[in-house]
Amino acid sequence: MKQCTHAHALPHPEPEPLSETCLECLAAGSHPVQLRLCLICGDVGCCDSSPLRHATEHFKKTGHPIMRTFEPGENWRWCFVDHVLV
């Protein structure tokens, strides 16, 4: 089973969210389906089910490897590099 090689480098405590929603969706007039929080910098972006996929675009621009769901009642994390749940 493949494991994440990046989780050990996450900041503790995790960063505060920079916003309550995907600001890029807001600026574009789009509606995010679900939100994701970058665990390196606190950026909040929309998921890949959203039309503009800003969380993935944030990873592509910054290389920040791990995000977590920013949805109430959920607590999973995803590593974009290793393609595994953390």
Quick: pLDDT tens for 8-37.
989 999 999 999 999 999 999 999 999 999
Per-residue model confidence (pLDDT) at position 2 = 84
Taking residues 48-54, report their average pLDDT. Answer: 96
Query: Residue 77's domain is classified under what CATH number?
Result: 3.30.40.10
User: Cis bond leading into 13, ω under 30°?
Assistant: yes
- Note down the domain range covering 70: 16-85
Average pLDDT of the chain?
95
Q: Evaluate if residue 1 carries a pLDDT over 80.
A: no
CA atoms lying within 13 Å on the CB side of residue 1: 4
Domain assignment present for residue 4? The answer is no
Per-residue model confidence (pLDDT) at position 15 = 97
If one counts the domains in the chain, the total is 1
Q: Is the pTM of this model over 0.85?
A: yes
Domain assignment present for residue 11? The answer is no
